[in-house]
């Protein structure tokens, strides 16, 4: 879900606003919480459903008061305490899942660095969907996230996400097939090599040599599993890094042109066009969303370090006030 990151390394206020806008819940922090939180939050909305992924290096609490949506929580790393007030708190460990029902007050608290997948439905899902086992789901979650990270374009990411949601709603039958070769060790090695090489110029000859494969075999492996060429994969990783730069609240440079050039895109118009193909919006729109979020600070009443919940509107709506900076 890194391809759909909305905010990264935010201050407490911006994290509270993002939690309200994207997760529809309120955030609170302890007095020991840092002013800026290391991590990111990304979401993809699909027809009254939402898939969110958050990674945090800081302890955070989230509260949902009688939410009007059904949730599935999948803990990928770290631990998460789930307290509904009706049963003893549940602690989720990596690979474990938990369903949260409509109208059920819930408090979520991360005790350490956390990587969480959170799926929300505004409507109900079939009862048998909740019988999906964590062991069956874990591998498919990782394969799904891999398929979105390396989707050929925004349309394909949407299609794979729809398939994943259908899989969840059917209770895991039929099994998901997001990336046919997602368990192929050769693919994992090649992707790791491309990840490292994407910080420099693309070199297919070197990539094939480091992967101990011929160029033809490498190309076939990528096309038959991910549906994209090695260069297309390399380009997508650079676009994802550019997006993370745009939404990074600690970035020294905020302009689209700087982040495009920093990832090797010399033609700004071409960068904007390719970016929209991959993410469904222009880079300027990604940046504008974060700007509007930060401009909505008038919806937030809080005191840093108080340990009290942050009172945030669940529907920020139009953000049309003068921007303010974190205090």
* Residue 110 DSSP SS3: strand
Judged by average pLDDT, the poorest of 17-21, 54-58, 303-307 is: 303-307
Q: Quick count: other Cβ atoms within 10 Å of Cβ 36? A: 16
Q: What is the pLDDT of residue 93?
A: 92
Mean pLDDT value across residues 217-229: 87
- Give how far Cα 263 sits from Cα of 96, 172, 234, 313, 316, Å: 36, 39, 11, 36, 32
Is the per-residue pLDDT at 107 higher than 80?
yes
Q: What is the pLDDT of residues 251-302, one digit of tens each?
A: 887 789 999 998 989 899 999 999 999 999 999 999 999 888 888 765 554 4
pLDDT band at 186; cut points 50, 70, 90: confident
Mean pLDDT value across residues 90-115: 88
Is the per-residue pLDDT at 99 higher than 60?
yes
Superfamily of domain 2-179+226-299: Jelly Rolls (2.60.120.10)
* Residue 182 DSSP SS3: coil
Is the per-residue pLDDT at 55 higher than 90?
yes
Q: Quick count: other Cβ atoms within 10 Å of Cβ 235? A: 19
pLDDT band at 147; cut points 50, 70, 90: confident
Judged by average pLDDT, the poorest of 50-54, 178-182, 189-193, 311-315 is: 311-315
Q: Which residues contact 266 (CB under 8 A, 6 or more apart)?
A: none
Mean pLDDT value across residues 66-79: 89
More confident residue, 277 or 196: 277
pLDDT band at 307; cut points 50, 70, 90: very low
pLDDT band at 129; cut points 50, 70, 90: confident
H helices present in the chain, as ranges: 12-18, 134-149, 154-169, 185-197, 204-210, 215-225, 230-247, 256-262, 268-279, 283-295
* Torsions phi, psi for 12 (to 5 deg): -60, -40
Query: Which pair of tokens denotes residue 292?
Result: 């509007």
Is the per-residue pLDDT at 62 higher than 60?
yes
Measured at the CA of 159, the angle between CA 157 and CA 160, to 5 degrees, comes to 65
Query: Which pair of tokens denotes residue 257?
Result: 């042109």
Whole-model pTM over 0.75? yes
Residue % of the chain over a pLDDT of 90: 36
More confident residue, 197 or 300: 197
Q: What is the pLDDT of residue 173?
A: 67
Judged by average pLDDT, the poorest of 141-150, 232-241, 297-306 is: 297-306
Is the per-residue pLDDT at 90 higher than 50?
yes
Q: What is the pLDDT of residue 72?
A: 93
Q: Which residues contact 248 (CB under 8 A, 6 or more apart)?
A: 8, 9
- Give how far Cα 42 sits from Cα of 4, 21, 134, 218, 286, Å: 5, 11, 22, 31, 12
Is the per-residue pLDDT at 206 higher than 50?
yes
Is the per-residue pLDDT at 165 higher than 60?
yes
* Residue 175 DSSP SS3: coil
Mean pLDDT value across residues 99-119: 87
More confident residue, 313 or 116: 116
Query: Which pair of tokens denotes residue 260?
Result: 């495009």
**Mean of the per-residue pLDDT values of the chain:** 82
Mean pLDDT value across residues 183-196: 81
**Gap between the Cα atoms of 7 and 101, Å rounded:** 27
CB 19 within 8 A of CB 25: yes
């Amino acid at each position: 879900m890194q391809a759909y990151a909305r905010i990264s390394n935010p201050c407490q206020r911006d994290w509270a606003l993002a939690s309200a806008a994207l997760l529809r819940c309120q955030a609170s922090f302890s007095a020991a919480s840092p002013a800026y939180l290391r991590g990111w939050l990304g979401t993809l909305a699909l027809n009254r459903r939402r898939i969110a992924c958050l990674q945090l290096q800081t302890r955070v609490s989230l509260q949902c008061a009688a939410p009007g949506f059904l949730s599935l929580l999948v803990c990928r790393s770290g631990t998460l305490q789930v307290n509904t007030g009706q049963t003893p708190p549940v602690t989720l460990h990596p690979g474990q899942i938990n369903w949260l029902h409509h109208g059920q007050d819930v408090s979520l608290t991360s005790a350490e660095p956390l990587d969480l997948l959170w799926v929300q439905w505004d409507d109900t899902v079939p009862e048998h969907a909740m019988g999906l086992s964590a062991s069956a789901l874990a591998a498919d979650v990782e394969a799904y996230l891999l398929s979105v990270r390396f989707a050929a374009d925004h349309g394909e990411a949407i299609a794979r996400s729809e398939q994943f949601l259908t899989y969840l709603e059917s209770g895991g039958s039929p099994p998901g097939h997001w990336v046919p070769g997602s368990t192929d060790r050769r693919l994992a090695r090649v992707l790791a090599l491309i990840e490292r090489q994407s910080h420099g110029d693309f070199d297919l000859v070197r990539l094939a040599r480091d992967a101990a494969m011929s160029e033809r075999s490498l190309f076939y492996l990528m096309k038959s599993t991910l549906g994209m060429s090695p260069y297309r994969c390399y380009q997508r990783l650079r676009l994802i890094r550019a997006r993370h730069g745009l939404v990074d609240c600690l970035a020294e440079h905020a302009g689209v042109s700087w982040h495009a050039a920093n990832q090797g895109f010399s033609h700004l118009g071409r960068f904007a066009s390719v970016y929209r193909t991959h993410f469904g919006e222009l880079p300027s729109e990604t940046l504008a969303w974060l700007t509007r979020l930060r401009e909505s600070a008038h919806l937030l009443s809080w005191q840093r370090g108080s340990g009290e919940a942050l009172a945030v509107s669940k529907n920020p709506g139009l953000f049309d006030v003068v921007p303010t900076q974190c205090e």
